[in-house]
Structure 1
Amino acid sequence: MDSRLQAESADVRARRPSRRFVLAGGSAAPFVTGAAAGDTDPEVARCASWLAIDAEQRRLQLEWGMLEGWLITHRSWYKLAPAQQAEIREGTRLAEIDARLNVLEVEGHALLKAMRPRPAKSVEAVIANLSVAARLIFVEDHPEAHGLITRAVRDLAAFSGGK
């Protein structure tokens, strides 16, 4: 685990939502397809890159959650001192995942920041932006908004010939 989390007390860790909980808030929004290197609209490629980062984050969050559960059940993970945690092989993988998730968070945030001020120049870019928005809005928190966005993605894709 990174130093931020190591410094926290067990009480604070117990109240903080786990990555497994965060993952459960995710949704099955559509992904942008066709964002090949030859696309003329860089916004589509930018969105596709963000969606790829999001997919990797979700995969790693799932792995992290499963590994965390195993460590809690089989190694009393949060009862161990940081030095003891460092001696456990599976704890090393947890730290690797955590470090990668930190990198992906920075990269994803930079891409989101780059998307904001740019108006879309194609229907494909609108679809790509809406696909990103669908991943950012949890269906459990805002089912109506999420449904409208995912329907808009499907409708725009159908109107544009499925591009």
Structure 2
Amino acid sequence: MSDDKGPFAVSRRVVIGAASAVPVVSGAGGVAPADPVVARCAEWTALDAEIDRLGLRWSDLETILVRQKRWERMTPEERGELLPSEEMDAIDKQLEPLFEQREAWLEVLPAMHASDLHGVAAKLEVALRVMVHQQGEGYDLFKATMEELRTARCPNCGAPVCKR
């Protein structure tokens, strides 16, 4: 992360991922999705990717502190005096509203009705992403089914139902 962008800059990777999510779940080669569920799922996926990016940055900073400063042996006051901890605190403050937004959008998705198979696939992609971290009972079945769905083609238009 460069100094001129600050800790809250959206990475190019997130922008590219979000931009590619819409055509991926729409299955229409980049044409704007007709189903609003597809667009909402793409937004949720981009938000989730940003949360992951910030979490990884926080983890990198923590690793630096542990290796160089013996973080685990320091008092909270000593930790607060270190520059990387300031960025970690800033990330924590940014993550809180992002977590809330992701949860709010996730609560809305079940009530949204997908109007086509592309919307259904988009909702399933979001559900799989939620399940990735939980990996409870049924996860392996759901993941395998999603892999099959990713290779399926729409019977009407022949377009891929969804891609990763």
Shared fold (TM-score, shorter chain, > 0.5): yes
Q: Which residue of 2 aligns with 1:17?
A: none
Give distance in 1, aligned partners of 2:132 and 2:60: 21
Q: Which residue of 2 aligns with 1:110?
A: 104
CA contact (8 A) 1:37 1:45 kept: no
Match of 1:92 among 59, 66, 86: 86
Q: RCO (CA 8 Å, sep 6+): is it higher in 1 or 2?
A: 1
Q: Which residue of 1 aligns with 2:15?
A: none
Q: Which residue of 2 aligns with 1:53?
A: 47
TM-score by length of 1: 0.69
Give distance in 2, aligned partners of 1:140 and 1:106: 18
Give distance in 2, aligned partners of 1:62 and 1:126: 30
Q: SS at 1:162's partner residue?
A: coil
Aligned residues: 133
Give distance in 1, aligned partners of 2:96 and 2:158: 37
Match of 1:75 among 35, 56, 69: 69
Shift, 1:33, TM fit: 2.8
Q: Please give the root-mean-square deviation of Cα atoms over the aligned residues, in Å.
A: 2.7
Q: 1:63 to 1:124 in 2, by over 3 A?
A: same
Match of 1:44 among 24, 38, 44: 38
Q: SS at 2:42's partner residue?
A: helix
Segment of structure 1 superposing worse, 45-54 or 84-93 = 84-93
Which amino acid counterpart does residue 59 of structure 2 have in structure 1? G
Give ranges in structure 1 of 5+ residues lacking alignment.
Answer: 1-30
Q: Which residue of 1 aligns with 2:22?
A: 33
Give distance in 1, aligned partners of 2:77 and 2:133: 40
Q: Which residue of 2 aligns with 1:147?
A: 144
Give distance in 2, aligned partners of 1:123 and 1:151: 14
Q: SS at 2:146's partner residue?
A: helix
Q: Which residue of 2 aligns with 1:64?
A: 58
Shift, 1:68, TM fit: 0.9
CA contact (8 A) 2:51 2:98 kept: yes
Shift, 1:160, TM fit: 4.7
Q: 1:112 to 1:82 in 2, by over 3 A?
A: same
Give distance in 2, aligned partners of 1:145 and 1:118: 21
Give distance in 1, aligned partners of 2:112 and 2:103: 15
Segment of structure 1 superposing worse, 59-68 or 102-111 = 59-68
Shift, 1:64, TM fit: 1.5
Give ranges in structure 2 of 5+ residues lacking alignment.
Answer: 1-19
Shift, 1:110, TM fit: 0.7
- Percent identity of the aligned residues? 26
CA contact (8 A) 2:45 2:126 kept: yes
Give distance in 2, aligned partners of 1:157 and 1:113: 28
CA contact (8 A) 1:123 1:156 kept: no
CA contact (8 A) 1:71 1:77 kept: yes
